[in-house]
Amino acid sequence: MTESKTSRRGLLKGAGALALSAPMLPMLKVLPASAAKADTAVVVIGQTINSLDIHRKGTNRPSYQIAVNCYDRLVSFGTKTLPDGSLSYDYSTLKPDLAESWITSEDGKSIVFNLRSDAVFWDGSPVTAEDVKWSLDRAVSLGGFPAVQMKAGSLIKPEQFVVVDEKTFKINLIRKSKLTLPDLAVPVPMIINSKLAKKNATAKDPWATEYLHRTPAGSGAYKVARWDPGQQLIYERNEKWTSGPLPGVKRVVVREVPSISTRRALLERKDVDLSFGIPDKDATELASKDGLKVTATPIENCIYCLGVNLKFDAFKDKKVRQAIACAVPYEEIFKAAAYGNGVKMWGGASAKPTDISWPQPFPYSTDLDKAKALLSETAFKDGFEVPFAINQSLSSWMEPTALLIQESLGKIGIKAKIEKIPGANWRTAALVEKRLPLHLENFGGWLNYPDYYFFWAYIKGHLFNSSNYDNPEVKALVDETLHMEIDNPEYAPKVKRLIEIAFEDVPRIPLWQPTLSSGMTSDLEGYEFWFHRQLDARKFKKT
């Protein structure tokens, strides 16, 4: 089975010390995309990369791009062309990456992978089955998000991973699951140069987390040539890459520019090639600019939502949560924060779902009288005060959303004081420690099934359950459906019940299903949307 369905550097180094802000914009003429060689792409992002190792505890979402650009996996998803001509990953197709072929045993209890004979790491050493085993052992052993992600695909213990010979690797399965092969294509199960990692490991750090935090050791399309935390990351092409056609640009400069207006100005002046993840407002306004193009791709299995943390006394009462769901000014938020881009997730016709589509609108609309009535039936009928946290790095949608929610909650006696948390600290506060009473969140499930979303966002202790929600029935239903094939007659009824419980309990109050928008100059090609919502430069080329 092979398929299932220079001088320049000197300028960059000097510019790396610049603090980017609107008044300093003219200084960025030292690094205009128009003056760059055709083999260099300059990208701006609004968030901070805090680690080069996705397995490390506390590594944030913007850092996932290193796993994509610098490491290979056994398998990958295919690519499809969308109606607007842009590229997107294709969830329906798995294709070879480091494994040139694989076969599943007749009893479905094991998968054998045959590795590419010519695959090498950046240092020239061959990629072997020993490297694959060490890497997957690491992914399931370090704990935290990576281990839970592997668990979703029934990959839970090192004993499952077997070296057959130098170029043959076997996974013994604890169960047959629809998620196993797709889970090997997400960023987490990256293949690391174990020989190099072991040389830099210690007794206290056997998995070389401190070394790999700053020094990737992969076989992927790009190497990290330079990382200035909080400022920039520079990729250089790996000329020895064998898992795909060489990228069309030799160097990619990723600059961190927190200011939304500065990022927009840089793109409009064509001082950069790509502004990744632009606000919906900019996407709407920049689409008609000469020399620029904008892609806006719906994010599958993703919802922007209001999180109500059940550690906070008031939110332990379901009627308080329902009252808040009735007080949210959905339509105003959708216009002010999303600029009408995306899919509305409110106003559902019934409290019982008629199908298993996900996400789908919840049965709540703005109704302050109903919100007041629900609140009056609780111990908090006279209202209460609650901190309301937002991520500064996502202020383009979170700030207008929070202000509108704050105003509306005030009308039913709930005083919500907005607190802005730096993006570099958000993951720890919201997802690891789960200590934010009221907050905005934007989780999107990597594997496109409703039960997979519930696995991450509704199960106690799992990373994206920032509301500390715990429901034994939900856990049982997720356990029963997660590995079940969707054509199993029991699957749809159980998933409908999951959605019905989410409707009623609302620990997460959906606002809308978003799009990921990026703006770029007309001469940059090869931009591809991925479910992980991070930069993939492997197909970049400049005309």
The two structure tokens encoding residue 189:
């199960």
Residues of the chain with pLDDT under 70: 1-36
pLDDT digits (tens, 9 = 90+) for 46-91: 999 999 999 999 899 999 999 999 999 999 999 999 998 999 999 9
Q: For the chain, how are helix, strand and coil distributed in percent, rounded to 5?
A: 35, 25, 45
Q: Helices then strands (H, E): number in the chain?
A: 17, 22
Please determine whether the domains at 6-17+30-51+220-298+514-543 and 304-513 fall in the same fold group of CATH.
no
What is the Cα–Cα distance from 73 to 219, expressed in whole angstroms?
A: 9
The pTM assigned to this predicted structure is 0.85
Which amino acid does the sequence have at 492?
A
pLDDT score, position 9:
34
pLDDT score, position 23:
37
Whether 131 and 193 have beta carbons less than 8 Å apart is answered as yes
Q: Pick from 535, 248, 511: which is nearest to 404 by CA?
A: 511
The two structure tokens encoding residue 27:
């200084």
CATH architecture entry for 72-219: Alpha-Beta Complex (3.90)
Whether 73 and 191 have beta carbons less than 8 Å apart is answered as yes
Whether 214 and 228 have beta carbons less than 8 Å apart is answered as no
Q: What is the dihedral of CA 418, 422, 427, 430, to 10 degrees?
A: -20
Q: Half-sphere exposure of 530 toward its Cβ, with a 13 Å CA cutoff?
A: 22
pLDDT score, position 36:
58
The residues facing 43 across adjacent strands are 254, 274
Contacts made by residues 90-93, CB under 8 angstroms, sequence distance 24+: 91/182, 91/300, 91/447, 91/448, 91/531, 92/5, 93/3, 93/4, 93/5
What is the Cα–Cα distance from 202 to 207, expressed in whole angstroms?
A: 8
The residues facing 259 across adjacent strands are none
Per DSSP, the residues of 155-186 read: ---GGGEEEEETTEEEEE-SS--TTHHHHTTS
Whether 383 and 371 have beta carbons less than 8 Å apart is answered as no
Is CATH 3.40.190.10 the right assignment for the domain spanning 6-17+30-51+220-298+514-543? Answer: yes
Whether 452 and 179 have beta carbons less than 8 Å apart is answered as yes
CATH architecture entry for 304-513: Roll (3.10)
Other C-beta atoms lying within 10 Å of the C-beta of residue 210: 15
Q: Is 292 helix (H, G, I), strand (E, B) or coil?
A: strand
Over 209-262, what HEC string results? HHHHHHCCCCCCCEEEEEEECCCEEEEEECCCCCCCCCCCCCEEEEEECCCHHH
Alpha-carbon separation of residue 535 from 107, 135, 183, 242, 386 (angstroms): 38, 23, 19, 20, 36
pLDDT score, position 128:
98
DSSP summary character for residue 410:
H
Q: Half-sphere exposure of 293 toward its Cβ, with a 13 Å CA cutoff?
A: 11
Q: In what order do the strands lie in the sheet with 75-81?
A: 75-81, 87-96, 528-529
Q: CB-based burial of residue 158 (10 Å sphere; 0-12 exposed, 13-18 middle, 19+ buried)?
A: middle
The C-alpha angle with vertex 204 and arms to 201 and 205, in degrees rounded to 5, equals 40
Helices (H), 328-365: 330-336
pLDDT score, position 93:
95
Q: What residues have CB less than 8 Å from 470, skipping those under 6 apart?
A: 310, 460
The two structure tokens encoding residue 6:
């220079």
pLDDT score, position 107:
87
Whether 27 and 258 have beta carbons less than 8 Å apart is answered as no
Whether 253 and 42 have beta carbons less than 8 Å apart is answered as yes
Q: In what order do the strands lie in the sheet with 232-237?
A: 222-228, 232-237, 251-256, 40-45, 274-275, 515-521, 292-298
pLDDT digits (tens, 9 = 90+) for 432-454: 999 999 999 999 999 999 999 99
Which secondary-structure segment (H or E) carries 446? none
The C-alpha angle with vertex 76 and arms to 110 and 157, in degrees rounded to 5, equals 40
Q: Pick from 321, 345, 318, 316: which is nearest to 331 by CA?
A: 345
Q: Pick from 69, 126, 121, 68: which is nearest to 240 by CA?
A: 121
Percentage above 90 pLDDT, the chain: 90
Structural domain boundaries in the chain:
6-17+30-51+220-298+514-543, 72-219, 304-513
